[in-house]
Structure 1
Amino acid sequence: MVDFDVQTLVVCFVFMLSLAICHADRNLKSALQCSDADNSTLESSFRVNLDNLLGLLTEKGPSSNGFLKTTVGRKSGKIYGLMQCRGDISAENCANCTRESTAVALRDCSKSKTVLVWLTWCFLRYSDEHFFGVWDQSSTAIVNETNFDNTSVISRGLAFMSEVAVTTSKQPLMFYTAVLDAGRFGKRYGMAQCTRDISRADCSRCLDTQLMTFRTTIGNKRGWEVYGFQLHVVWYH
């Protein structure tokens, strides 16, 4: 399996920082992962199953409280698919994002059997291997290397995000946002979300593990994001 498209992540993160400052919320491509090219994806049976799978996710996911996991095909031809939208967006934006994520997958990973697409508002994943409910610690942290926070805010911020992580797993949609008032240094915003195919216990464990893993990387950065197969954590000014 290939690594995250880090260049795409870094560029997008700069955009997200700018958007956060002006309080806008746009659906941007955040990250993409494609498995190695596999010519068997050109076989008609795989294409038919994939088209049917993406059609189901696009049609039924947004109206299913923004989350759907399903399969298409049988035995060796089975494809597993999952879509999930951010917990605070409308059904209309969820539908638009899901359509866009499938378009990205088909355009940029046309010969891959395992694909993950992260957009600001939604997440899409499909594979010929079973992954529902399987906790995977694969993740990456993206930071702005030139934008540093005040030292008095850093320790409060890490403790704050730890609380966000704990609270997230207890929410109905395993999605949570919170605001930290840093006084004269302004406000800081935190968000965390887990995919709903994993248990609440795994959600809590996954978020806590990633925060500990990237504590040094995050350091004193004013804004950062952690992307994982089953989570998304954001901290920004």
Structure 2
Amino acid sequence: MFIEIQEKAKSEGTEGLTLNEIAAQAFVFFLAGFETSSTTMTFCLHELAFNQEIQDKLRKEVNNAFKKTNGELTYDAIMGMKYMDMVLEETLRKYPPVPMLNRLCSSDYRIPDTDIVLPKDTKVFISSLGIQRDEEYYPDPMKFDPERFTEENKASRSNYTFLPFGEGPRICIGLRFGLMQAKTGLSMLLNNYRILPGKNETYDIEMDPQNFIMSKNGTVMLRLEKLIEMDPQNFIMSKNGTVMLRLEKLRT
């Protein structure tokens, strides 16, 4: 798209984007959408490992999506996964990739219902983590509960209480790219594996205080257990397909 804009500008004799400007925008795009989707997937898998009922419900939705598209994960299939959206939104609520937003006042601003005026050029820091773990908006905030993000529950909350990507004209440029990556990765994993906690892995997570992106202090250890697909048309419980084994002769 950037190259097309550049070529169009040249053909019209106007100033377009320089190669450095194009590279800079692409860098920001991937930076905003790559690392954030990676950490979001990590936290989501961690929660699913410790919440098997939620994982089973999500896997059922993923399995149904694959069946409708003959085993291929299409864009429409991903967009149709409503429970996947709820699970990811709850993950982003509890673990926003960037826990604090920073803004600069472009003009004097009085905070509504107060006498406090923020002068122009004041730097403002907004704790999205604090808002999204506030009991006023999210009761029992440390509980992982995707049902918070049903359409009815979302409509009942105040605006600007969910800010994992910011809001308004400065909202994260990598939002859609990041979510698409996370949905794709989670779908492929859940369709084939059960996610379980790794050895010595605990539910409570200590965050890394030195990382700009919200992440665990240390490694998230998970265990993947391969799933066997059963034949739904067989009266006797059996695998859908052939069980392939290899026998190795033992010597006494």
Q: Same fold (TM over 0.5)?
A: no
Question: Larger RCO: Structure 1 or Structure 2 (Cα < 8 Å, ≥ 6 residues apart)?
Answer: 2
Scaled by the length of structure 2, the TM-score of the pair is 0.25
Structure with the largest fraction of strand: 1
Task: Please identify the structure whose Cα radius of gyration is greater.
Answer: 2
